[in-house]
Chain A
Amino acid sequence: MELNDWILSLHLLAAALLVGAEVVFGAMIVTLWRENSSVRVNSFFRVSQIATWMVQAGSAGTLVFGVWLSISKDPYEPWNGWIIAALVLWAIAGGLGARAGQAYGAAGMEARRLAGNGDVSSHLVGETFGPSTAFKLHVVSNVAIVLLLIDMIWKPGA
């Protein structure tokens, strides 16, 4: 096996972590839809921490190993159209996902604070875990990730 094979493997593992994290976040959002119980939301704190680690490792890994592959593997170059498209989609997915994560994270911290005082309902938490801006950002981020996967497989223009 060559070095490029290992890099591709790590790139794929990072992609699995990234998409896997979105599954975890998506499942949490559906489960906690319009949930305003601080105890219930706080019970997912550890799961959300794992998903956050997954999305960070997955995002960094896909970028680093992907760019590395585009440099080291023939016939690809970093300035190929489909690779530039992938980088743009990665930035959109990461930027919007990070903004969604900040909003959900703030609601999660609020739930954690309130849960320490008993099961207190929170309007902020219930609103965030509903059809909020954070939810819309999460959906658009996921669409960008699916488009990224399509771009990686079809490689338009390659």
Chain B
Amino acid sequence: MIDVLAGMRPDSWNFPLFVHVLGATLAFGAVMAAVGTLLLTPGGGGDPEGLRRFAFRVLLFVGLPAYIVMRVGAQWIYDKENLDAAPEDPTWVSIGFIVGDAGLVVFLLALVLSGIALRRRHSGLGTAAGVLGAVLLVGMVIAVWAMGAKPS
């Protein structure tokens, strides 16, 4: 099994891996910011609309581009490692793809809901977006664990 982060690898893999890791960590932070804002700030801390705007913008302007960079980087390093040549993906790669692709749907739902919550000043929709973000965060934690522990 190819040890992506900790082992020796060709230099040509480093940049795609950097793109993937940077995108993933930025996306993680953006989702964390939105979840923290939408779920853990009771009453909006005096400025509920400002916080909903913050959550929506951080998802749109940081989270979405970072998520795309993460996913493109993942495919890039996947191709570099010739993992598609194997009869089936290792478990850790499958976990990464499931979280990456299903997570994008969850991410987009959270983004749209937070946008509607901002437009309609609807705290319930904001909470729903926060719950979706929290689900995505759990998936991201599992994916990060899989990238490191590499269960076969």
User: Residues 2-22 of chain A: 1 if any B CB is under 8 Å from the residue's CB, otherwise 0?
Assistant: 001110111111011001111
Q: Which residue of A lies closest to B54 (CB)?
A: A31
CB closest residue in chain A, given B66: A23
Q: What residues on B are CB-neighbors of A24 within 8 Å? A: 29, 32-33, 36
Contacts of A19 in B (CB 8 A): 25-26, 28-29
Q: Is A42 an interface residue (CB 8 A)?
A: yes
Q: How far, in whole Å, are A146 and B151 apart by their CA atoms in the complex? A: 28
- Given the known interface contacts A16-B25, A69-B6, A153-B5, the answer about A9 and B41 at a Cβ–Cβ threshold of 8 Å is no
- How many Å lie between the Cα of A85 and that of B22 in the bound state? 19
Q: Is the CB of A43 within 8 A of B30?
A: no
Q: Report Cα–Cα, A31/B149, bound state, in Å.
A: 37
Among A9, A11, A13, A115, point to the contact of B46 (Cβ < 8 A).
A115
Cβ contacts under 8 Å, B58 to chain A? 23, 27
A19 to B33, CA, bound (A): 12
Range of interface residues on A (Cβ < 8 Å): 35 or more
For A15, the chain B residues whose CB sits under 8 A away are: 25
Contact (Cβ within 8 A) B148 A45: no
> Is the CB–CB distance between B18 and A149 below 8 Å?
yes
B74 to chain A, nearest CB (A): 14
Instruction: Determine whether the beta carbon of B28 is less than 8 Å from that of A20.
Output: yes
Chain A, residue nearest B151 (CB) = A1
Main secondary structure of the interface of B (DSSP, over half): helix
Q: What's the minimum C-beta distance from B148 to chain A, rounded to whole angstroms?
A: 3
CB-CB < 8 A to A10: which residues of B? 148
Q: List B residues 57-98 near A (Cβ within 8 Å).
A: 57-58, 62
User: Which residues of chain A are within 8 angstroms of B26 by Cβ–Cβ distance?
Assistant: 19, 23
B44 at the interface (CB under 8 A from A): yes
Give complex CA distance A13, B32 in Å.
13
Q: Which of B102-110, B117-125, B139-147 lies on the face that meets chain A?
A: B139-147
In contact, B145 and A9 (Cβ under 8 angstroms): yes
CA distance A19 to B26 in the complex (A): 7
Q: A69 — which chain B residues lie within 8 A by C-beta?
A: 6
Closest beta carbon of chain A to B125's beta carbon, Å: 19
Beyond the given pairs A16-B141, A47-B37, 8 more chain A to chain B contacts, judged by CB atoms under 8 angstroms and listed by A's residue number, are A1-B151, A8-B148, A20-B28, A20-B29, A43-B47, A47-B41, A50-B40, A154-B11
Please give the residue numbers on chain B whose beta carbons come within 8 Å of chain A beta carbons, in ascending order. 5-6, 8, 11, 14, 17-18, 21-22, 24-26, 28-30, 32-33, 36-37, 40-41, 44-48, 50-51, 54, 57-58, 62, 140-141, 144-145, 147-151
* A to B CB contacts below 8 Å, 15 in the list: A8-B5, A9-B145, A13-B145, A16-B29, A16-B144, A19-B25, A20-B28, A21-B32, A27-B57, A42-B45, A43-B44, A50-B36, A149-B18, A149-B25, A153-B17
Partner-B contacts on A (CB < 8 A): 1, 4-6, 8-13, 15-16, 19-24, 27-28, 31, 39-40, 42-47, 50-51, 54, 69, 73, 115, 146, 149-150, 152-154, 158
